[in-house]
Amino acid sequence: MHFKSVQCILTALKYESEPIIDHYGLARDKTFDFPVFRSGSMVLLGIGVGKKFIKTRICELYAQKQGDEEYQFVNIGIAGGNPANTALGGCYMVNKIYDERDKIYYYPDLPAGHPFQERAVVTVEQGIINGGSEYAELVDMEASGIFQVCRALVPEQRLAFIKIVSDHMDLNKVEFKKNIISKLISNNMNTIDSFLKSCYFEEY
């Protein structure tokens, strides 16, 4: 069966999105009242911080897909990291997701031969600013919500989560500026681009 493969990048922050938009030359799709950018087989969707808009935005975008389109979802964004197991600026593929509120584990079906080190992420409801010693690897605010929504739409092997460490869960000590967040993404764009090209599928 032949179809048009679409890679949908999911980002929480505007400044995570901008380097990706620039790299792929994406243009705003104004038919949506939330951030959607497109070019060819690439779509970027801004889901906002936390879980609030994840389901409505993903499902609204997905409902507009053409009949011959098959989606792959890739979440790309910053995360807090434990200094014992992560490096600032380090780019990791998520191999386990734990939803702290709902006490549920999710296990992404990782593509073989990807270029990243792997780490687990805990999805929390609020940013961690006290050093987060109780979190062994990564923390974010979206991954579990994305996994839960997207696995109802596509096979789990079409989901991937790439996290770049922006802080060691000490946000009270870190001043985030837009250029810092964007630079964290842009510094890893070559590896991310290589990964996206390697897992682009033509048939399923």
| 123-175 pLDDT, tens digit each | 998 887 777 788 999 999 999 999 999 999 999 999 999 999 999 887 665 55
What pLDDT, on the 0 to 100 scale, is given for residue 115?
Answer: 93
Nearest to 166 by CA among 186, 181, 178, 151: 181
As a whole number of Å, the CA-based R_g of the chain is 16
Give the separation between CA 69 and CA 47, rounded to whole angstroms: 21
184-203 pLDDT per residue, tens: 999 999 999 999 998 866 54
pLDDT reading at 83 higher than 80: yes
pLDDT reading at 23 higher than 80: yes
HSE-up of 149 (CA within 13 Å, CB side)? 23
- Mapped to the 3 state alphabet, what secondary structure does 33-87 carry? CCCEEEECCEEEEECCCCCCCHHHHHHHHHHCCCCCEEEEEEEEEEEEECCCCCC
User: What percentage of the chain reaches a pLDDT higher than 70?
Assistant: 93
Instruction: Name residue, tokens 């996206």.
Output: 196
173-183 pLDDT per residue, tens: 555 667 889 99
Instruction: Note whether 143 and 94 are within 8 A (CB).
Output: yes
Specify the CATH number of the domain 4-198.
3.40.50.1580
Q: Which residue has the higher pLDDT, 201 or 14?
A: 14
- The DSSP letter of residue 154 is S
